[in-house]
Amino acid sequence: MILDTDARARLDRLAVVAGGRVRGIWSGTNRSLRLGESMDFADYREYTPGDDFRRIDYNLWARLGVVLIKLFEAEDELPLRIVLDASGSMNFGRKWRTAQELAGMVAYLSLGAGDRVRLMATGPRGRPSQGPWLRHRSSWPQFEKSIESIEPGGPGGLAEAARTAASSSALRGPFVVVSDLLEPGWEQAIKTLGARGGGIVLHTLAPSEMDPDLTGDLTLRDTETSAERNVSLSAKALERYVARVADFRIRVAKVSASAGFSYVFVLADDGAFRTGLDQLVRTGAVQ
């Protein structure tokens, strides 16, 4: 189970907020690129035969002698796409469990609001897997089963997954990236998705990746490529490492902001769900 009863109860009062106009298929609660039936006034145009006479502005007709009808904003569902990093580096410490919880959190919120959700996960040999569009909370068990079936492993493929997600649908809506971003293509992935609407970057790292408790002569092995490197870790080397991790997070936050993403960092520990939700509420991405 990705989200227990208490977690779902807390999420029932919240929803993901669309950062801009969206283009969906079904009616919903988010501002659309189209004109339609909501209560928000958009513009006037001259009456033509066949128009709904109930939209005629009789006050303007009496004042100007011109028959005008009111146009209103349309409201669409929010199509939300989750791009999940399932590479080998995510299978370290509690990172994969944290990624499942974060992806499940935003999916549950969107499904509960009647919006559409699609899961895209990086796959072996750089080929991403893409699930179907799901809608309404009744689809939550299907989403949960899908994300639980994914086994992290292999090299990173975030940039390819982003390209596939960005080009797979004409629907306009936010993307949610869930990843440790420990691969060369992370920046390109964020920029690719930013060009299609932005969204949220949920960045997670394990505590031991932030501040490793290691000293002496060691052999480090890359979990994705199996490449090995012999290193000698002194106290000063560890200080430089911690500083570089901090610089990396700052860089990710800047790239995310410039691409139209809210950046949320979540430490992959037992409190990740609560921390992630609190951060999303604080940034205004969830209300």
* Model-wide pTM > 0.75: yes
Q: Are 62 and 82 contained in the same domain?
A: no
CATH of the domain at 198: 3.40.50.410
Confidence label for 18 from pLDDT (cuts 50, 70 and 90): low
pLDDT tens column, 19-69: 544 343 333 444 444 444 444 555 666 777 766 667 778 887 788 888 877
pLDDT tens column, 235-277: 898 999 999 999 999 999 999 999 999 999 999 999 999 999 9
Q: Are 39 and 150 contained in the same domain?
A: no
Q: Are 134 and 99 contained in the same domain?
A: yes
In a domain, 20, yes or no: no
Q: Are 160 and 269 contained in the same domain?
A: yes
Q: Pick the more confident residue, 157 or 125.
A: 157
Q: Are 134 and 273 contained in the same domain?
A: yes
Strands (E), 144-279: 175-179, 199-205, 216-221, 228-233, 261-267
The CA-based angle 32-198-270, given to 5 degrees, is: 115
Q: Are 181 and 266 contained in the same domain?
A: yes
Report DSSP state, residue 15. -
Return the residue matching tokens 């797979």: 168
d(CA 102, CA 272): 8
**Where in the sequence is the domain holding 151, given as residue range(s)?**
5-14+77-283
Q: Are 150 and 43 contained in the same domain?
A: no
In a domain, 19, yes or no: no
Question: How do strand 79-84 and strand 68-76 relate by DSSP bridges?
Answer: unpaired
Q: Are 167 and 227 contained in the same domain?
A: yes
CA distances from residue 196 to 17, 25, 39, 77, 254 in whole angstroms, order as listed? 17, 17, 27, 17, 18
Domain count, the chain: 2
